[in-house]
């Protein structure tokens, strides 16, 4: 096994959005020391809770199946994420957290096999 395979891991999780908006698939980075440092830095710079969570997710999420009006997939950027309400951001964050740290006795498998 190559070191890069261990360092660049990603996982995919289905996220059920609030208010019957539907479900999206989100691919996120494994939490490493460098990623944790970035998330810690966000604590110091973002005092607005929506902006803080949007910034954290923009660092963590690498891909998703969210599209614009023309049907083109859009990147999970801070600018886009910070335009969502807190309920949507919490749904994404909560699904990732539960996927990374499942309750005891529950397997953290994803439909993507990652």
Using alpha carbons only, give the angle 94, 97, 101 rounded to the nearest 5 degrees: 140
Rounded (5°) CA angle 69-91-108: 110
pLDDT by residue, tens only, the chain of 114 residues:
888 887 778 999 999 999 999 999 999 998 888 888 888 888 888 788 999 999 999 999 999 999 999 999 999 999 999 999 999 999 999 999 999 888 877 665 544 444
At residue 110, the pLDDT reads: 46
**51 and 75 in contact (C-beta within 8 Å)?**
no
Q: Are 4 and 92 in contact (CB under 8 A)?
A: no
What is the domain class of 3-100 according to CATH? Answer: alpha beta
Per the rule left: phi > 0, alpha: psi between -120 and 50, beta: everything else, 31 is beta
Domain ranges of the chain: 3-100
pLDDT at 114: 47
Give this prediction's pTM: 0.83
Contact of 49 with 86, CB cutoff 8 Å: yes
């Amino acid at each position: 096994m190559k070191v890069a395979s261990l360092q660049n891991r990603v996982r995919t999780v289905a996220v059920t959005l609030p208010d019957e908006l539907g479900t999206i698939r989100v691919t996120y980075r494994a939490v490493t020391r460098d990623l944790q440092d970035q998330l810690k830095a966000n604590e110091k710079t973002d005092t607005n809770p929506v902006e803080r969570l949007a910034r954290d997710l923009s660092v963590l999420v690498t891909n998703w199946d969210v599209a614009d009006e023309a049907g083109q997939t859009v990147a999970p950027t801070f600018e886009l994420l910070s335009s969502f309400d807190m309920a949507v951001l919490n749904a994404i964050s909560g699904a990732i957290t539960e996927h990374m740290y499942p309750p005891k006795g529950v397997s953290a498998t994803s439909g993507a096999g990652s």
